Structure formats: structure tokens, C-alpha cells
Chains A and B, each alone.
Chain A
């Protein structure tokens, strides 16, 4: 069937610069560039271009520019190009529209409506270059109080297991299969170097990555891929995945083509078979079932590791989170509507769930109202872009954040949203061995560590500016925030005052 879809991008090639070296031809995994030997020209099939800029970056003579195809339709607020083109796609395929990455819709971004405070006159700001500035964060259940032996002066209370983060940022779950082994190795190395954690996602832990186990969070999801005793006991934390911000209520599907020999071994499924993660965990149909799985995992790991439970941020997150804490979760992870994915139905990604800022604020407030906030740490994820977002998340009440997209961007991702195609030209979200080798784990780890280092310096600057020298004095300190351009209801849910008040 002839497609009626116009191409999204135009490839401008400056022929006076092009030396026909064909780097672009080799770099493009979507088949845009081709070399015509008879004309000695590199040509472009623009319909295939996804705007990932791999060719632009690698062109040695800067001959290529990628432009948006600004094809004009007659203006219609309701029938914008995206709506029209989505219908065309479905009319041609009869299928669900699949997409990758987080929602690209203009949902209100509350981080952009929040501003931070700083010290002036009545208290001094602190210079982080000259004074200690502490970002160390411990995740895990905390008791309401502790007891000290009066005679010996030593601790009587037995603390539940804790994990130590050098900065309140971790790499979120991205499974082997969805991303390549080289990506996971980059994440694992960077987490180890930076004193934080990476997350296996639901695809098991590759043998070669066990050496990073003490900085690894192992995930148990609905497909139970790669879950066995050694796996559970290897990680620092076991995370139960209930949901994901990009696709709340939806399972996963790793196509058989991506299930290579190595992936099949790690996931413990036959090579070439589809890896289907059911929408629910079929042993969790209610909160009391969650308790059982939490305690089953605690038993399996002999109560030596915090058990984390991750949910997508949905309408009743506050009540659900309260139930999760009471069910015994040591860490709660909330993933917001801007959370990313390797593949999800577009209609789900863009329409289901709530912004993480609101979910975080309401969950933190609820747990405090119920006096159980200290019983679990609160980690959030879903579109965290920079250290400013992180500082605001901490001030709203998060203990730490997970970053996924931002970490992949450090490796080269330009958010072209083609993860579901398995053709990632940057070699990130693919299992094509020719592409995966584009990520060098050593360089990848360096780039990720650099990002974390930059952010931690910035967070220290923010803290110092506020006149505080430890992250725990920002955590949940909503007086450090003010809202701009928000309604009274929004301010009330966020628990912050309007700027100027």
C-alpha cells in the first residue's frame, strides 16, 4: 500500500562540502543515506529519517543538516499534523501505534513553575568550594526512634538494611534486551565509580555484570525474567516492578528478534521467543498479595536488603503508596507520566498517569499525615532533566531520583523516539551487534560519571546558596520552594506558597 505519510525531516547536504566518504551511509541505521556510484553522489531517502542526528555528528566535513519538514497543512486546532498522520499510519497498518521514550505532549511541567530560595542577610550562604557540603543519602526503612545502651553508649536498636548513595541520583530500570549490554555495563561502571546504583530492569543480570552487584538494584517484574536465588542475592536492593510511568497498567513485549543467545541466557527463556511481561503481576491482585511477595523476597534474601516497590504515578497514588508502606516496602518508587520506555502504545504513554511532581507531593504529604514517612524512602522518576529538577524534587519530599532518559542522553541519545524499532543509530536501545558496539563502556561510563559529577557540584551550589550544608535539610523542606503561575489548588497539593508570599 502506498503510504500517504510525508517525511518528517529533510536532509540538507551541502554538495560543496560532501567528500562522498559514506560515513553517513554507514552510520545511519534507518537507511536514509545511500551512495550512488554512477553519479558519485550520496543521496538521501528522507522518508526514513527519524532526526537522530547520528549522521550530522559523524560527518567529517559538516556537510549535513537535518531540518524539520515544515509541510503546511491548512490550520486546524483540532486536526493538527500529528493527529492526521497518526490516522494515516493506522489506516495503513491496522495496528496499535507504538512509540519509545517518554511522552512528548505539552503536559504542564511543574518543575518549570517552581523556583528555589537562597539566603540573603538574615542567614549566610555557604561556599561549597570552601566548606563541606553533604549529599550522602541512605535509602531504606528507618525506625521511629532508636535506643542507646546507657551503660556502654552503643546502639541497641537493630537498623533495617540501608543503601548509601553518594548523591541522590540513581540510574533507573532499563533491561538487558531493551538496552544493550554495553549500555548496562556503562551504567554499572558509572554507578560504581560515582557511589550510586543502577537498575537491571526486568531482564535479569548478565553474568559479566555480577562484579558490579553491590551497586546494582535487581528488578522482579511481572515476567519474572532472569529471577533466581543468585540474582536476588547479588543485588543491593530488590525492586518489585508493578508499573511504569510510560505505560501504567500495560505489560511489556520484547520481540523475539531481540532475544539473542546472551539475552536468552540472561532472561532464562528460549532464544528467539518473544518475552512477554503480563500487565499485572499475576500473584499480586491486591495489597495483601504485595505483602506476600515483599516478604517472600525478604525471606529469600534473609532480610539483608531493602525491598523496593515501583509503581506508575496514577490518580490514587497517595492511598496506594500508603498501602505499599504498610505492606512492608522499604523504598517506594513513583514513576510519572513523562517517564520513558523502550516501547509502549502511544495512546497509553501520552494519556495515562499523572505528572510526577503532583504524585510526589501528595504521597509525601500523605505518608507524613499518617506518621509513616520514615518507614520507607521515596524515590521518583519520570523526565528528570537537570540538577534543578532534582533539587526541587528533594525539596518536595523525595529521598532520591532515578534518571533514565538523561542517562541515555549522556551516551548520545537525542530522543528520536525510535527505541521500539530496535534500530537505534546511537547503539543504545538495540540488540543489533553492529550497532551496540557503538557504545564503548569505558567512554560511556566516563560520560555518565561526568554528568553525575556536574550535577552534584550544582546541587551543592544550590544547597550552599540556601545556607544549608546537608541534603537532608532540603529533603521535604517545601519552604525552599515557591510556585509561579499555579492555581490555588495546585499550590495546595504541592504544599508550596506562591512567589512573593
Chain B
């Protein structure tokens, strides 16, 4: 998209405001399951969206190409695809490419073409010492902000994002997601209040294999954005969700924090709670707030963040948006509403409402590499 800012925020509002339904489901054994239940669950929360955006993120999606970057790119024209593909072939080694299969349905109008590419970084065109991930981020930004009519939906390994304008259950049907399998799914139904909705603006928001689905409005957006700009992040889409994604990238990938610490920065404990902690904890949490106060996400939100092997649900610290967590055997569910979980799994081992700012984290029980092989093995 040539001018992402205008595409995403045509009226130049402070930021793009939207509310929504969110749903996440992960089997911590690494067992892969189809998107059928996820589509039913998110579809059950139909009225929380307004048909202007729906999407899914799937992990463990491409075990055959698990070590290659999987790009999903949307094109508004054939010219755009030619231009993007020549850019990709200069900067990557493309192992495989194909158009993503879709099923025409009445509700989805004027869909763009969406292609997938499995690629390796072209070592020659990297600057010395540059990490592959940094290289990929840079190229994704180049396509998204430099090329007209092309937009990268997802860019991680062994995962993929499918999204568009429509209700999430329609998007799921359109992309035939019941035919795909993954061990971790997140999904989103969108209710934007101030944009006509465009395919790239739907959630999940993705950078490398990190995805974010988000419900709420982050009232601290102004300072979160200015803080991230200091570290070179340009919030071109002007959405809350973009801010969350960049914050995660900075804190986890660049500053090396654990998911737990990430949660404690985004939804920081109150000073009064910090004062009651044991001494070394006090010191840690006080310092986190002192240094990263500008990344406190303030205002109502629920987010589900996912990346390889991990899913985390988090609300703002006074829980102004809903989040329900539930477990059944090895599966963890996160949802805006309990009904969505009950629909696909009526009997649950445990259901609870996490307190504000308390992260709910699901992790694969065994290390990712063995899981990856195992996943690949079961497929064969």
C-alpha cells in the first residue's frame, strides 16, 4: 500500500478506533486441529463485530516449510504482484509460491488476490551482521509502505494470517480455513468506528511470527506511539494494535524480556501493589515502570498475543474489556465471551475470569523443535 497512513486512516483521526470479539485456542501438546471450531466460536460472537473486518492467525500451519519465512501478500492488481515478486526475488530465495485457495461467497465483495511464498533470506543482500528477522521486518515495511497495491498480511515461519473485510466466519469460509490445521489459532471480529474497513486493517496484526488480536481502545496511544518512534518504529497504520505489536517486538525481541515481564510492562502493577511485594521484586517492578512507563497500555483493552509455541491473553490493569479463560484437557481457550467456548466445548475442566493485568499464558509442553519434527512426522 503506497500510503498506508491514508489507506488505514482516511479521515486523519488521532487513531483508528475499533472494538471487537476475540478468540484464541491452543493445544499445548502441539496437536494440530482444523479451523472449523475456531470459526464456529468466533461466529458465535457475530454481534460484537460489524462486518468490517475478520481474521485468523494459525501456528504450526506449514510444517513442511517450517524453517522458511512464509509470506501472505495481498494484491489489488496483477501489476502489483509482478512488482512485488521482482522485489522478493531480489531479496529472497523463493522456495515455493502459490495463490491461496479461496471459495467465492456472496458476502465477500471485491476480494484482493492473496498469495503465499516460502522464502529464505538472500544472504548476499543482507548488510553485515544484520539478523535475518531484522532483514525481514525491513523488507515487509518496504513492501507495505513503498509498493502500491501490495500488502504483507504475515511474514513468520510455520504460521500464517488470513484476514479481510467481512465477518470473521465469512472470512474463515472464504479462505477455506476448515481445511487447515494448526496447534494454536487466534481470531478476531472487528467493529471499527471510523474507517470504511480495508483488508490490511483487519486483525490479526502480524510482524514476523508475532500476531496480535485486540479488543479495545488504548487511551495512552499518543505517548505509546511517540515512545516507539524513538526506537525507529513508524506507526503508519495508526491503530492501537500496531502499537501493541511494535511494543512486543521491542520488548521481547530486542530487549529480551520474557512474556511474563512483557505483560507486567504493558499492564503494569499499581504502585501500591508494588509496595507490597518482596524487596527484590519491588526493585524490579519499580524499575520496569520507571523505564518503560511510556509503554503502559492505558485504557480498555484485551489482547491475545501469539508467536511460535506461546499464546498470551492480557487485559488492561482494571479489566475494562472482557476476557474469559478456560481449559479442557490440554487445550486452553481465551475468548471475549464464555458462550463461544461452551459452543465448541460444552464440558470444561476449568473456567475463570483473569483479573485485570494478570496474563494467561499457554505454552507448548515440549520444546518447539521436537514438536516441529513431531508435527511434520504426523503429517507424513
Contacts and interface: CB of A to CB of B under 8 A. Distances in A.
A459 B164 CA distance: 42
Contacts of A470: 268, 293, 296, 298
A113 to B, nearest CB: 19
Interface stretch (B215-223, B326-334, B358-366, B367-375): B215-223
B230 interface: yes
Contacts of A497: 14
Interface residues of A, number: 42
A146 B288 contact: yes
A69 interface: no
Most chain A CB within 10 A, of B217, B226, B229, B271, is at B226
Contact of B294 (A119, A472, A480): A472
Contacts of B222: 476-480
A126 B320 CA distance: 10
Interface string A462-486: 0000111110111111111000000
B283 A155 contact: yes
A136 interface: yes
Contacts of A476: 222-223, 226-227, 294
Contacts of B19: 122
B193 A143 contact: no
Nearest to B317: A469
Contacts, number: 110
A479 B271 CA distance: 25
A136 B219 contact: no
Nearest to A463: B298
Which of B227, B271, B287 has the most C-beta atoms of chain A within 10 angstroms of its own C-beta? B287
A212 B19 CA distance: 50
A159 interface: yes
A132 interface: yes
Interface string B329-358: 000000000000000000000000000000
B287 A469 contact: no
Interface in B58-83: none
Contacts of B146: none
A147, A470, A473: which has the most chain B beta carbons within 10 Å?
Answer: A473
A148 B284 contact: yes
B89 interface: no
Contacts of B294: 472, 475-476
A95 interface: no
Interface stretch (A226-234, A366-374, A421-429): A366-374
B118 to A, nearest CB: 33
A459 to B, nearest CB: 15
Contact of A477 (B223, B257, B320): B223
A132 B270 CA distance: 8
A132 B283 contact: no
B272 A468 contact: no
Nearest to B218: A123
B280 A472 contact: no
A6 interface: no
Nearest to B285: A155
B223 A154 contact: no
B334 to A, nearest CB: 21
Nearest to A467: B219
A124 interface: yes
Contacts of A467: 217, 219, 298-300
A154 B299 contact: no
A389 to B, nearest CB: 19
B261 interface: yes
A134 B271 contact: yes
A138 interface: yes
B257 A148 contact: yes
Contacts of A501: 12
A159 B299 contact: no
Contacts of B39: none
B185 to A, nearest CB: 27
B300 A138 contact: no
12 contacts: A123-B299, A145-B254, A155-B280, A374-B291, A467-B299, A467-B300, A468-B219, A469-B318, A472-B223, A476-B223, A477-B221, A477-B226
Given A136-B271, A371-B230, A469-B298, 12 more contacts: A131-B318, A145-B255, A148-B257, A155-B280, A371-B231, A467-B217, A468-B219, A468-B298, A473-B220, A476-B222, A476-B226, A479-B222
Interface of A: 119, 122-124, 126, 131-132, 134, 136, 138, 142-143, 145-148, 153-155, 157, 159, 162, 368, 371, 373-374, 466-470, 472-480, 497, 501
A-B pairs, top 7 by smallest CB distance, nearest first, are A479-B222, A472-B293, A473-B220, A473-B298, A477-B222, A477-B223, A468-B298
